[in-house]
Amino acid sequence: MSELDRLMEDLGSLKSIAKGWKTRNKRSLAKLRGSKDLDRIANTAHSEVFATIDCMDCANCCKTTGPLFRSQDINQLAHYF
């Protein structure tokens, strides 16, 4: 089994686990709202996750999420062009 196949299998398992934790996740997110430590918590979580995941092996985000453009972004791009 290739590394990519193993990673994709792990991602499938992760989706199942995440669905099971939906209520717990909602409660945790509710606690974070208005937290003064939110940036620190998010940066710590980001560092921990990306220390173990190489996005270049999967690139699933790139396959499923398109670019998001706000009105401000569109105006700036239009002015540039």
Q: Spell out the per-residue pLDDT of the chain, length 81, in tens.
A: 666 676 667 777 777 777 878 888 888 888 878 778 888 888 898 888 888 887 777 777 777 777 778 888 888 888 877
Where are the domains positioned within the chain? 3-80
- What is the pLDDT at residue 60? 73
3-class secondary structure, 70:
coil
Extract the tokens encoding 37: 């430590």
Contact between 55 and 4 under an 8 Å Cβ cutoff? The reply is no
pTM of the model: 0.39
Distances (CA, A) of 11 to 15, 18, 19, 29, 35: 6, 10, 12, 22, 30
